[in-house]
Structure 1
Amino acid sequence: MTAWIAICRDSAGVTAHAMEGARHLRHAKGIDEAAALAHLAFDAGRILHIGDGPPDSLPAAILPQGGHGLPGFVQDSPADVIGAQVRLWIAGFLRLHRDWDGVICAIDGDISHWLHLSAGEAISAQSFLTQQLVSALGGTVPPARDALEDSLSRPERLAAHLRAAQVSNRRDALTGHLLGAELAAARPYWLGQQVAVLTSPDDPTGHAAALDAESVPATIHAPSELVAHGLAALAGAFGLDA
């Protein structure tokens, strides 16, 4: 088995993962790559960078064919960029759920990415800044169901709905209206599809609760538990598991 290291960057710094073929051994964090590697203390002949290289244009395979790392995704219309970290999560999810077709709602910080997957490819995407608006307006979770329904059925009245919730000091309604508008815009993705939400189990943004309120059979998967599986999938794609 090939010993290799995966380098992942996020807003908190850098994480280095020690891999032996498809087996995840351990990880270490640091403020930069050098610090993470020093803490990892692992000798490997190859390092793959998650986020390396220009992004792949959608539609694209989740797992790249060759190269030196895992880039993110880019889409021309609607204009979008999806980080390589989300792509890694999806690779891990598909390794656990082979031949799965449907829609992924991946919560990456304060951005929600909806991606249509089919035959191991990301076909299209639509992303939202809903959580940034929730934070700016002081919304809380779980979202109010009546507010969710109002803005899902009448998204054109979102600004008026938000003002009413603000005046009434209903912070859960602020979140409900914003999520309702997002679900209205993302309806072509989730309607009639099986949906997986990649987020913390406590559903901090309320997306899973919003889908449940609409009787959408969505499952929740913690991104932290998908990373090792995503790296194992990468090992296969890059021939590091032989």
Structure 2
Amino acid sequence: MVRPDWIAVDWGTTRLRVWAMQGSEVLENRSSDKGMGSLSRDGFEPALLELVEDWLGDQPIPIIACGMVGARTGWAEAEYRHTPCTPLDPQRATRPQVNDPRLDVHILPGLSQIDPPDVLRGEETQIAGFLAQNPDFEGTLCLPGTHCKWVIITDGRVEGFHTFMTGEVYALLSRQSVLRLTIGDAKPDRVSFLEASAQAATNADMAAAGLFPLRAAALLNGLTPEQGAGRLSGLLIGSELASAHPLWHGRRVVIIGAPELSSLYAGALTQAGADAHQLDGGELVLSGLTAAATALTRNT
């Protein structure tokens, strides 16, 4: 029988992941498709209990949670801490009301920036996990995804960050615009991607000017869906690199995210002359949650 001394929770929009923890050791892990986006406010506690109830004893157990569970439409809205600041402060976690007294839930706060206005939620835990393993890091973290976050790290603090909606724009264009007839769900061809990203990284206007030619090239020149996907992705990511130039130029950059998407960013950045390194972000959330649990225990 698994009896953890605390439970780690990563609750995103589409997925819920939980780990039974003994200190920093994982005893067991589970997941479900009951992400924030599919739940009403009174559905969060039952969704959590479905996964963890047999881990619970008779006494309250600390549950450290991050991600969209703390969004305005989540279980309970967690605050945004203003940067510059450390990535995590578990003492400022939000404590949602629960019906089961065995659940001692702490939802970690996100981060915000006033000028230019920006917010992040969930990535702060990945950042904390990275810094727990690399405490002397100075430079920029790039966290690709639906919304890509560029985060400046100095002295173990988040100095500032900037969000680009590149992944969402790609999804909209490839699935809902005329380009769906050219690209659909094709995987990006890497050669086409690198060619387009090189063009757009030095001229951000290429992203807008090069869109319809993708459809025309499919009709006239035999452009394949994979080549079209590569060029579209390259134009958008290259344009992002052009806009984010002050955030990565002359800095060490670590790309944290899913391997396939991170590889595209790493290729585009290296081609543009950046000192870029790729890291799988899968385990960093758990490392950050562990750091938060340790800090919470130390201060109680």
Shorter-chain TM-score category?
Answer: 0.7 to 0.9
Instruction: Report the count of equivalent residues.
Output: 238
Pair 1:162–1:184, CA change in 2 (3 A)? same
Query: Which of 264, 273, 279 does residue 215 from structure 1 map onto?
Result: 273
> What corresponds to 1:111 in structure 2?
147
Pair 1:65–1:228, CA change in 2 (3 A)? closer
Report which structure shows greater RCO (CA 8 Å, sep ≥6): 1
> What corresponds to 2:83 in structure 1?
58
> Unpaired segments of 5 or more residues in structure 1?
none
Alignment of 1:1-16 (within 5 A): 3-16=5-18
- How far does the alpha carbon of each residue in 1:204-242 deviate from its partner, in whole angstroms, 9 at most, with x for none? 672122112223222222221212321222133223599
> What corresponds to 2:49 in structure 1?
34
Structure 2: distance between partners of 1:194 and 1:161: 30
Letter of the 1:93 counterpart: F
Letter of the 1:119 counterpart: D
Cα deviation for residue 164 of structure 1 reads 2.3
Structure 1: distance between partners of 2:299 and 2:270: 39
Please say if 1:17 is aligned against 2:54.
no
Please say if 1:67 is aligned against 2:103.
no
Once superposed, what is the RMSD of the aligned Cα atoms? 2.4
Task: Kindly indicate which of the two structures has a greater share of residues assigned to strand.
Answer: 1
Task: Kindly indicate which of the two structures has a greater share of residues assigned to helix.
Answer: 2
TM-score by length of 2: 0.72
Structure 2: distance between partners of 1:121 and 1:204: 23
Please say if 1:49 is aligned against 2:65.
yes
Structure 2: distance between partners of 1:146 and 1:29: 39
Structure 1: distance between partners of 2:8 and 2:83: 24
Please say if 1:124 is aligned against 2:160.
yes
- How far does the alpha carbon of each residue in 1:156-202 deviate from its partner, in whole angstroms, 9 at most, with x for none? 34311222233223512111111111001110111011111111223
> What corresponds to 1:91 in structure 2?
128
- How far does the alpha carbon of each residue in 1:64-97 deviate from its partner, in whole angstroms, 9 at most, with x for none? 16233421112222222211x2111111111111
Query: Which of 285, 291, 294 does residue 227 from structure 1 map onto?
Result: 285
Which of 1 and 2 has greater Rg? 2
> What corresponds to 2:202 in structure 1?
153
> What corresponds to 1:206 in structure 2?
264
The runs of 4+ residues in structure 1 deviating greater than 3 Å are: none
Query: Percent identity of the aligned residues?
Result: 25
Pair 1:55–1:210, CA change in 2 (3 A)? same
TM-score by length of 1: 0.87
Structure 2: distance between partners of 1:88 and 1:65: 11
Is 2:65–2:289's contact at 8 Å kept on the other side of the alignment?
Answer: no
> Unpaired segments of 5 or more residues in structure 2?
35-46, 71-77, 94-106, 175-182, 219-226
Letter of the 2:115 counterpart: S
